[in-house]
Amino acid sequence: MNDKIVINSSLRTVEWKDNKVIMIEQTKLPNELVFVEYDDFNQVANAIKTLIVRGAPAIGVSGAFGLGLAVLQSKAQTKDQLLSDLEYAKNILFATRPTAVNLGWGLKKIMNVAKTGNSIEEIKELVISTAKKMADEDIEINKLMGKNGAPLFDDNDTIMTHCNAGALATVAYGTALGVIRATRESGKNVKVIATETRPIQQGSRLTAFELKHDGFDVSLVPDTAVGYSMSNGLVNKVVVGADRIVKTGHVFNKIGTYQVATMAKQHGIPFYVAAPLSTIDMETKAEDVIIEMRKGSEVTGIGENKTAPDDINVINPAFDMTPPELISGIITEKGVATAPFEESIEKLFK
């Protein structure tokens, strides 16, 4: 591992620059900090699909930037042709990952704005400026979430987090890790326990890397040590992100979140979720949310090393659902929703 990687605080996970999309290539972390540069929306779609960029808010903004590239790529001569080219690109971008609602949210927002343009030039300008604004707003929203969440944490707390809901899962600052950052910025001393997050280790590759880089006291545990950590008094609180929250307060997040929440309930440890309103899906029912199933090779090996017999059957869901009764609060930019969630979530939108 290369300890010399230095991330400048103004660095963004995904960015629009000179009519190109620049991203941190997250599959290379923590060993190398590599940036990729795209000028074709198909490349952005591939980056979302292959987890070069991942995390619900980051893929929402990436989808929007993908449409920014699509308007530049289009050779349309009429407004209708341009909208149809955009629709085509939107469908390709949307098909990349099914669970995080932010992707569909970002694409829909851009499509709606595009339809208000009166000319090709105006549509191009509107799409690109709206996508750039979404990226800037993502950081502001994360900071507001941090401000709302920080009072829930105490001086000297050790906070467990799962997967990566940090700067690397957003444009910058993070959702769950944004709350942890804001808690420290409010003058409290906190420690963090990051779960490894098998199979593809966003916890060890990304969260541990990101927090260590920012000087946090962070310890890494295997996913199998969540029960040990909680039953031995090593954890005071938990905060995780979310890929989709439905109006009943059911939270869809990285596989293993449900286990962490269940274990937290068992030990009387508050379990918080931090997510922007763009992650809340008021339309879909919990039972209709599609859980992405990923390839077996993520489970039958670690990196290039094979750790399972040939031809073994694998079940590899990327996300699971945590029911509202296990959740102490949902931290958003508009405030903290608590049980009964159906009422408190609705209030956030008013």
Q: Counting contacts by CB under 6 A, is residue 333 touching ligand MRU? A: no
- Residue 220 backbone dihedrals phi, psi, to 5 degrees: -100, 135
202 binds ligand MRU (CB under 6 A): yes
Cβ pair 62, 131 in contact under 8 A: no
**In a 10 Å sphere around its CB, with 0-12 CB exposed, 13-18 middle and 19+ buried, how is residue 28 labelled?**
middle
Backbone angles phi, psi at 311, to 5 degrees: 60, 25
Interface map 257-296 toward ligand MRU (x if CB under 6 A): ----------------------------------------
Window 7-26: residues binding ligand MRU (CB under 6 A): none
How big, in percent rounded to 5, are the helix, strand and coil portions of the chain? 45, 15, 35
Is position 61 an interface residue for ligand MRU (rule: CB under 6 A)?
A: no
Provide, rounded to whole angstroms, the least separation between the CB of residue 241 and ligand MRU: 3
Exposed/middle/buried for residue 209 (C-beta within 10 Å: 0-12, 13-18, 19+)? buried
The question of whether 243 is a catalytic residue gets the answer: yes
135 binds ligand MRU (CB under 6 A): no
Q: How far apart (Å, rounded) are the C-alpha atoms in residues 67 and 131?
A: 8
Q: Is 149 in the site for ligand MRU (CB under 6 A)?
A: no
Cβ neighbours of residue 124 under 8 Å, at least 6 residues apart? 71, 72, 82, 117
Count residues near ligand MRU (CB under 6 A): 17
Query: If DSSP codes are grouped into helix, strand and coil, which group holds residue 264?
Result: helix
Which residues in the 207-246 window bind ligand MRU by CB under 6 A?
A: 241-243
- Stretch binding ligand MRU (CB under 6 A), from 48-56, 75-83, 88-96, 281-289: 48-56
Of these, 123, 172, 318, 331, which contacts ligand MRU (CB under 6 A)?
318
Does position 165 interact with ligand MRU (CB under 6 A)? The reply is yes
- Give the number of other Cβ atoms within 10 Å of residue 332's Cβ: 26
Residue number with CB closer to ligand MRU (100 or 131) = 100
Work out whether 100 is an interface residue with ligand MRU (CB under 6 A).
yes
56 counts as binding ligand MRU under rule CB under 6 A: yes
Nearer to ligand MRU, 71 or 165 (CB): 165
Rank residues 55 and 68 by Cβ distance to ligand MRU and give the closer one: 55
For the CA atoms of the chain, what is the radius of gyration?
20
The one catalytic residue in 85, 138, 157, 243 is 243
Q: Establish if 141 lies at the interface with ligand MRU (CB under 6 A).
A: no
Best CA proximity match to 22, nearest among 72, 74, 65, 55: 65
β-pairing verdict for 251-254 and 217-221: unpaired
Instruction: Please tell me whether residue 320 adopts helix, strand or coil conformation.
Output: strand
- Residue entry with tokens 């439905």: 246
Task: In whole angstroms, give the CA distance from residue 183 to residue 238.
Answer: 13
Work out how close the CB of 117 gets to ligand MRU at its nearest, in angstroms, rounded to a whole number: 31
Residue 63 within binding range of ligand MRU, rule CB under 6 A: no
* Min dist. Cβ of residue 319 to ligand MRU (A): 6
Under rule CB under 6 A, residue 62 binds ligand MRU? no
In the structure encoding, which two tokens stand for residue 160, read together? 């467990």
Indicate which residues carry an active-site annotation: 243
Footprint on this chain of ligand MRU (rule: CB under 6 A): 54-57, 100, 163, 165, 169-170, 175, 202, 241-243, 253-254, 318
